[in-house]
């Protein structure tokens, strides 16, 4: 618990320090127009990559935590107390910390941070020129949907498999009374795993569908305005994916 707390707060502190300029612009404390072009370009690239960097740092912290608790701690225990480490158990623990905890945390943080950070993107790009920033990380709509569909379909399967395998191992050694207890606990576990996975799938699906549908709705409304003859209509560009390119093209078209 202490180790996890130290890792969490150190990662939050590092992110706060490294991204302070971005927060200043996002909170309207500093204008991007008052900076020289090289600094502005760097900050624009950082702004586009911000959700990815935050999620990436969190995932790295989880990998580090997995390494410490799965490999370093058994080695220290061996040195101090002479307890022989079991490599299979270490690998199982590493898988649990990084693949279960790390991946879910990184996905949740990426999509929630991106949703809120999109409000700040127009402050970095008053002209809406996101496509001018070269070499910035770009999560295309295709990849975004693919990642979420793979995550929500692949995470429950190993969890259910591991739960069933663990209980099958225990059943093999158990007597009649213990077997009935194990079977009833397996039933409860399957229900709990299914409920958690369904809830996580719904939350992730909502975030992803909104990240695609909201910008498209804005373009649709803007097109209706243009149809009525309002050629001053512009749409805020909040991403550098295909939808951002379409929005940028729309703004150029009605200019």
Applying CB under 8 A, among 177, 252, 253, 255 the residue interacting with another protein is: 177
Nearest CB to another protein, comparing residues 43 and 248? 43
Q: Report yes or no: 152 and 197 within 8 Å, Cβ to Cβ.
A: yes
Shortest gap between Cβ of 231 and another protein (angstroms)? 26
With vertex at residue 232, the alpha carbon angle to CA 230 and CA 236, rounded to the nearest 5 degrees, is 115
Q: Report yes or no: 54 and 63 within 8 Å, Cβ to Cβ.
A: no
Task: Tell me which residue of 60, 45, 46 sits closest to 101, measured CA to CA.
Answer: 60
| Residue 167 in contact with another protein, rule: CB under 8 A | yes
Nearest CB to another protein, comparing residues 61 and 222? 61
Shortest gap between Cβ of 97 and another protein (angstroms)? 6
Shortest gap between Cβ of 241 and another protein (angstroms)? 21
Applying CB under 8 A, among 6, 10, 14, 16 the residue interacting with another protein is: 16
What is the Cα 85 distance to its own chain's centre? 33
What radius of gyration, in Å, describes the C-alpha atoms of the chain? Answer: 24
Shortest gap between Cβ of 108 and another protein (angstroms)? 4
Nearest CB to another protein, comparing residues 43 and 58? 58
* Helices 2-18/37-67 angle, 10° precision: 170
Nearest CB to another protein, comparing residues 70 and 251? 70
Binding mask 89-108 for another protein (x = CB under 8 A): ---xx--xx--xxx-xx--x
The interface with another protein within residues 185-244 (CB under 8 A) comprises 185, 189, 192-193, 196
Q: Report yes or no: 31 and 25 within 8 Å, Cβ to Cβ.
A: yes
Classify residue 86 as exposed, middle or buried by CB count within 10 Å of its CB (0-12, 13-18, 19+): exposed
- Which position has the token pair 């093209």? 249
| Residue 64 in contact with another protein, rule: CB under 8 A | no
Q: How far apart are CA 44 and CA 244, in angstroms?
A: 15
Contacts for 147 with CB less than 8 Å, ≥ 6 apart: 107
Q: Report yes or no: 70 and 94 within 8 Å, Cβ to Cβ.
A: yes
With vertex at residue 87, the alpha carbon angle to CA 85 and CA 90, rounded to the nearest 5 degrees, is 85
Nearest CB to another protein, comparing residues 72 and 168? 168
Shortest gap between Cβ of 227 and another protein (angstroms)? 28
Shortest gap between Cβ of 246 and another protein (angstroms)? 26
Shortest gap between Cβ of 250 and another protein (angstroms)? 26
Q: Report yes or no: 237 and 244 within 8 Å, Cβ to Cβ.
A: yes
Under the rule (CB under 8 A), what is the footprint of another protein? 4, 8, 11-12, 15-16, 23, 26-27, 29, 54, 58, 62, 92-93, 96-97, 100-102, 104-105, 108-109, 112-113, 116-117, 119-120, 159, 162-163, 166-167, 169-170, 174-178, 181-182, 185, 189, 192-193, 196
């Amino acid at each position: 618990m202490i180790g996890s707390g130290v890792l969490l707060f150190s990662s939050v502190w590092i992110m706060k320090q490294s991204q302070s300029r971005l927060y200043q612009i996002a909170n309207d404390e500093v204008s991007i127009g008052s900076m020289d072009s090289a600094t502005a370009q760097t900050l624009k690239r950082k702004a586009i990559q911000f959700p990815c960097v935050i999620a990436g740092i969190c995932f790295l912290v989880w990998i580090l935590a997995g390494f410490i608790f799965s490999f370093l701690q058994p080695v220290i225990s061996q040195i101090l107390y002479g307890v022989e480490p079991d490599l299979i158990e270490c690998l199982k623990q590493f898988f649990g910390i990084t693949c279960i905890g790390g991946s879910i945390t990184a996905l949740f943080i990426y999509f929630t941070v991106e949703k809120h950070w999109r409000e700040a993107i127009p402050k970095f790009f008053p002209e809406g020129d996101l496509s001018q920033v070269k070499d910035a990380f770009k999560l295309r709509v295709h990849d975004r949907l693919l990642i979420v569909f793979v995550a929500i379909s692949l995470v429950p399967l190993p969890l259910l498999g591991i739960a069933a395998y663990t209980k099958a191992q225990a059943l093999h050694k158990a007597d009649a009374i213990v077997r009935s207890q194990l079977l009833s606990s397996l039933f409860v576990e399957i229900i709990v795993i299914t409920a958690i996975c369904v809830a996580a799938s719904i939350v992730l699906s909502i975030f992803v569908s909104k990240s695609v549908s909201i910008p498209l709705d804005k373009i649709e409304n803007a097109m209706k305005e243009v149809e009525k003859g309002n050629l001053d209509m512009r749409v805020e560009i909040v991403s550098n994916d295909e939808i951002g390119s379409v929005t940028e093209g729309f703004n150029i078209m009605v200019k």
